Amino acid sequence: MMWQRSGEFEKGIFENISFSDSSAIKKELKNSLKVDINKNELLSELLDEFDKLCQMRHAIVHSSRVLAGKNAIQLNIPPSIDKLSIRVGYAQLQECASICTACVMTFNLKLFEVMGHRWAIDWRRLTDFWDEEKEDEYFSKIWDIFSSVIDRNEADLAEMTKAECINAIKIEYQLD
């Protein structure tokens, strides 16, 4: 991260990082947050769909909407004598937006689960850091990053208040 005001880490964490395909996303996730995405997770399936969008975006931007050989191979499109042009209508654009939105929301939920685990288990093991009296404050920082007021009606987290979520995590990890 090159520069960011204090308390706004989440706004600068991805500076100078390209999300050109799922490999880049997985690599950065592993390098910066030590988080892996398993192949059997929903997020992995969504990233496969994201890769298809990236291939089409590449063809649109760099080949004037013509699907080039490398992009066609990545999309498992058989060879053709005809030039294949990509046309994106309103319905297709909405489908692309839905894929990206589902990917981001699932990604955020995964990160929230990881951070919840770290709050419940890993951070408590850091004796020079963890203060039992500040556990709610520590969790609030996680909650504030991941609990979107805009998306609360759509997200799984929307069904819980912060206090209910803390209690659910404590029950899951047998805390208290």
Domain residue spans of the chain: 19-27+36-87, 108-176
Is the pLDDT score of 5 beyond 70? no
pLDDT-based confidence at residue 155 (cuts at 50, 70, 90): low
How far apart, in whole angstroms, are the C-alpha atoms of residue 98 and residue 75? 19
Q: What is the number of other CB atoms lying within 10 angstroms of the CB of residue 47? A: 21
Report pLDDT for 66: 92
How far apart, in whole angstroms, are the C-alpha atoms of residue 61 and residue 66? 9
Query: Could you tell me which residue, 18 or 99, shows the higher pLDDT?
Result: 99
Span of 31-45, 67-81, 83-97, 142-156 with lowest mean pLDDT: 142-156
Cβ pair 108, 146 in contact under 8 A: yes
Report pLDDT for 1: 45
Please choose, from the candidates 52, 162, 156, the residue with its C-alpha nearest in 3D space to the C-alpha of residue 106: 156
Q: Rounded to two decimals, what is the model's pTM?
A: 0.82
- Mean per-residue pLDDT of the chain: 88
Report pLDDT for 176: 78
